[in-house]
Amino acid sequence: MKIASWNVNSLKVRLPQLTQWMAEAQPDIVALQETKLEDAKFPVDELAAAGYRAVFSGQKTYNGVAILTRGQAPTDVVTDIPGLDDPQRRILAATVGDLRVVDLYVVNGKAVGDPKYDYKLDWLAKVREFLAREHERHPNLVVLGDFNIAPDDRDVHDPVAWRDSVLCSVPERAALNAITGLGLHDSFRLFEQDAGHHSWWDYRQAAFRRNLGLRIDLILLGEALKGAARAAAIDRVPRQWERPSDHTPVTLDLDI
DNA sequence: ATGGTAGTAGAACTA
């Protein structure tokens, strides 16, 4: 089975690209971020026509997450972190067959020291507690999404320029390490050790053409699933299309 | 150099 994550930066704008990409890539599960759609406006019928069921947690203008599945319908859906009263729609957990899937749109944080940065670190700490409980209950855990953190310097086009800035700072990386420390493995690094592989490129300064990007979109696998991983990839093709998202899809092939 | 581009909205905020 193939699992994917894609920050589409407006599902309304990117729906044609999403359905085209799914028709070509044939993923079984797709986690979306930044849908920017109220639930009443989610394109349920269009995605059903493409062969996918959907669960979603959205809001107008900002944020919004969704999980699309082929075959079995997602069940046991959770849309909020227990103990965190947060109107921002950034987390969606669901059971899909034998897998527990948690889709995250991690807070960007704006800049180190900004109030949004403090919210990011607090949000990540609360997510870690939630994921610890999810992992205990569901060994076959997949946590994926836009983490808005580059795990280490290999994931950054210019580590010196980005040193200690938001998306790369030591406290953010510590928060991510606290999550991977639960036994959740960055699946891309099970297969690829080199630098220069990115999943997000700023719209400005021709960043994609120059490969000035970061790898911030991750698929984490629980210990029990690690041995089932067969291949991980970043599909740069949709980033080359007309009117692209600033993120491109990341994928994982699992032998289950 | 706090620029630049994109999405949502219809000005300013978020990324």
β-sheet with A184-186: strand ranges across: A75-78, A91-96, A99-105, A141-146, A217-222, A184-186
**Cα within 13 Å of Cα(A170), Cβ side:** 1
Q: pLDDT tens digits for A130-175?
A: 999 999 999 999 999 999 999 999 999 999 999 999 999 999 999 9
User: Would you call A155 a catalytic residue per the annotation?
Assistant: no
Spans of chain A, pLDDT less than 50: none
Which residue's CA is nearest to the C1' of nucleotide B15?
A108
pTM: 0.98
CA–CA gap between residue A98 and residue A122 (Å, rounded): 31
Protein contacts of strand B with Cβ less than 7 Å away: A 9-10, 12-13, 36, 60-62, 107-108, 110, 116, 148, 203-205, 243
Record the tokens describing residue A41, joined without a space: 């406006």
Pairing of strands A29-33, A2-7: parallel
**pLDDT for res A151:** 98
Choose among A142, A141, A137, A159: nearest CA to A150: A159
